[in-house]
């Protein structure tokens, strides 16, 4: 490669001059004078490398598959004019944006034919492009980045995407892609981030995904994916899974890597019992959202006393029991817990008020009855050392009765953010409307409350 040789030559000149012992300043000047034209030669030479003809063809096909009526003149694709060489003219007038290139010989995977520029990044702007993604995309085999979010591309994700083995980030989110996630993504061995959220993808999550061992971030939410969650236990770096708003069914995924710290499976059709042992093995887990599924049975201290879990949303399931020893949840790092819209019943448990870090508790629309435990009164004030006060305490839609714990009603007490407490639609026969937490929803009628108490 000529430029490298030139630089080597310049370096030799320098040491030669120093060996001759000429004054430092003049030697530096001499070197500069020699280097300057070389530098210009270097720049001009590298600008002469043209784009690999296969890459040019692929880019042409990619543009040709976009409906021309949806390509604004001022957009990236609008500027692609193939009378010029793409890589040479990139960031100029004719390939304003959309591609990045690299001299092929600079790539570790360079083919020996070598002096072409290869396209290493393809990033569309959000311009409303419609059409399909051309299978010719697969010929851009040096791509590291493929990002086409927020447009209106439809049709299937081409199988040839599997040829992009150097890809580290793939973002096709918020388009209208249909059909399955191709099995061939298994070949994207360097992929770290995969985002196909908010499309119309169907079929199951390909089990072949288990070979993407560098994956850290997996976003599948807002599609029509169905079936069970595949075994992805080999993805040892995976931190985030969002598969919410799909049609996934079956039990809680049993083969997840323990590196997961955020897991959202909200709005699916998953169900069965919550597998405490499996959830406990996810010992990095911070955020777990299983809301709006059909999980049933019991929530126990294994889950509420999980050593790392901070936000747990189990709202809108069919959970019917809490089995918790206060001793096991006191030190829990949980800050926000949502158990609303389930089938929980019995007296309102006081252990919630003993969870040190818990500041947001939602229990609305269950069938809790009885009085609010005095301990809740202590936790709405900021007076307890080492104890985070409740900032949100949502108890509407149960069968709770009075009297309210003292700090709730005490004039001038240090009740913390009473506004975020709500007690509507319960059986408090007198919930004075001067308290914000009594405003909003009416209390239940006496008849309804008496009927509830009479039922077994």
Ligand X SMILES: *[C@@H]1O[C@H](CO)[C@@H](O)[C@H](O)[C@H]1NC(C)=O
Q: Rounded to an integer, what distance in angstroms lies between the CA atom of residue 390 and that of residue 382? A: 9
Nearer to ligand X, 151 or 268 (CB): 268
Helix 24-48 vs helix 2-20: angle between axes, to the nearest 10 degrees?
170
Nearer to ligand X, 139 or 421 (CB): 139
Q: Supply the minimum distance, in Å, between the C-beta of residue 233 and ligand X.
A: 26
Binding flag, residue 336, ligand X (CB under 6 A): yes
**Whose CA is closest to 338, among 365, 370, 371?**
365
Binding flag, residue 267, ligand X (CB under 6 A): yes
Site for ligand X in 152-171 (CB under 6 A): 160
Q: Rounded to an integer, what distance in angstroms lies between the CA atom of residue 260 and that of residue 262? A: 6
Q: Which of 51, 96, 286, 315 binds ligand X (CB under 6 A)?
A: 315
Contacts of 8 (CB under 8 A, 6+ apart): none
Q: Which of 54, 147, 284, 345 binds ligand X (CB under 6 A)?
A: 54
- Per CB under 6 A, the segment of 103-111, 135-143, 319-327, 367-375 that binds ligand X is 135-143
Binding flag, residue 138, ligand X (CB under 6 A): yes
Binding flag, residue 338, ligand X (CB under 6 A): yes
**Whose CA is closest to 366, among 352, 377, 380?**
352
- Determine which helix (DSSP H) or strand (DSSP E) holds 170, and give its type and residue range: strand 169-171
Nearer to ligand X, 249 or 284 (CB): 249
Q: Supply the minimum distance, in Å, between the C-beta of residue 43 and ligand X.
A: 31
- Per CB under 6 A, the segment of 14-22, 78-86, 310-318, 350-358 that binds ligand X is 310-318
Q: Rounded to an integer, what distance in angstroms lies between the CA atom of residue 209 and that of residue 170? A: 14
Q: Supply the minimum distance, in Å, between the C-beta of residue 57 and ligand X.
A: 7
Q: Which of 86, 98, 131, 135 binds ligand X (CB under 6 A)?
A: 135
Q: Rounded to an integer, what distance in angstroms lies between the CA atom of residue 185 and that of residue 120? A: 18
What DSSP line would sit under 300-327, residue for residue?
EHHHHT-SS--EEE--SSEEEEEE--HH
Tell me if residue 11 falls in helix, strand or coil: helix
**Whose CA is closest to 305, among 358, 266, 256?**
358
Nearer to ligand X, 322 or 449 (CB): 322
Spell out, one character per residue from 348 to 377, where the chain touches ligand X: x when CB under 6 A holds, - when not.
Answer: --------------x---------------
How many residues lie near ligand X (CB under 6 A)?
A: 18
Binding site for ligand X (CB under 6 A): 54, 135-136, 138-139, 160, 266-269, 291-292, 313, 315-316, 336, 338, 362
């Amino acid at each position: 490669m000529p430029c490298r040789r030139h630089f080597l030559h310049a370096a030799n000149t320098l040491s030669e001059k120093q060996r001759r012992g000429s004054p430092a300043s003049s030697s530096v000047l001499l070197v500069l004078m020699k280097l300057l034209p070389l530098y210009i030669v270097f720049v001009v030479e590298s600008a002469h490398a043209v784009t690999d003809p296969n890459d040019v063809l692929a880019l042409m096909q990619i543009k040709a598959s976009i409906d021309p009526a949806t390509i604004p003149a001022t957009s990236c694709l609008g500027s692609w004019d193939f009378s010029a060489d793409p890589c040479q003219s990139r960031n100029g007038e004719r390939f304003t944006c959309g591609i990045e290139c690299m001299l092929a010989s600079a790539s570790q995977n360079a083919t020996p034919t070598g002096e072409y520029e290869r396209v290493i990044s393809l990033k569309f702007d959000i311009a409303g492009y419609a059409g399909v993604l051309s299978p010719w995309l697969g010929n851009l085999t040096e791509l590291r980045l493929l990002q086409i979010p927020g447009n209106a591309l439809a049709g299937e994700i081409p199988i040839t995407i599997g040829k992009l083995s150097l890809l580290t980030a793939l973002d096709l989110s918020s388009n209208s892609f249909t059909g399955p996630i191709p099995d061939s993504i298994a070949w994207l061995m360097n992929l770290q981030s995969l985002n196909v959220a908010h499309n119309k993808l169907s079929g199951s999550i390909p089990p072949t995904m288990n070979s993407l061992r560098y994956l850290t971030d997996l976003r599948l939410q807002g599609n029509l994916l169905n079936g069970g969650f595949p075994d992805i236990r080999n993805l040892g770096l995976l931190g985030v899974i969002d598969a919410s708003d799909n049609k996934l069914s079956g039990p809680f995924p049993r083969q997840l890597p323990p590196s997961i710290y955020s897991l959202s499976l909200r709005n699916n059709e998953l169900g069965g019992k919550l597998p405490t042992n499996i959830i406990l093995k996810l010992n990095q887990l911070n955020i777990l959202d299983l809301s709006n599924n059909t999980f049933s049975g019991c929530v126990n201290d294994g889950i509420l006393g999980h050593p790392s879990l901070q936000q747990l949303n189990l709202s809108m399931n069919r959970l019917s029991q809490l089995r918790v020893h206060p001793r096991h949840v006191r030190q829990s790092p949980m800050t926000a817990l949502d158990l609303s819209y389930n089938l929980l019943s019995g007296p309102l448990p006081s252990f919630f008020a003993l969870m040190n870090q818990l500041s947001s508790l939602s229990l609305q629309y269950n069938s809790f009855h009885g009085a609010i435990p005095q301990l809740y009164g202590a936790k709405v004030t900021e007076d307890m050392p080492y104890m985070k006060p409740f900032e949100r305490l949502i108890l509407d839609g149960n069968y709770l009765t009075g009297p309210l714990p003292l700090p709730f009603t005490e004039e001038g007490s240090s009740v913390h953010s009473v506004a975020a407490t709500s007690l509507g639609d319960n059986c408090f026969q007198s919930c004075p409307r001067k308290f914000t937490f009594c405003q909003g929803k009416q209390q239940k009628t006496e008849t309804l409350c008496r009927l509830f108490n009479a039922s077994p």
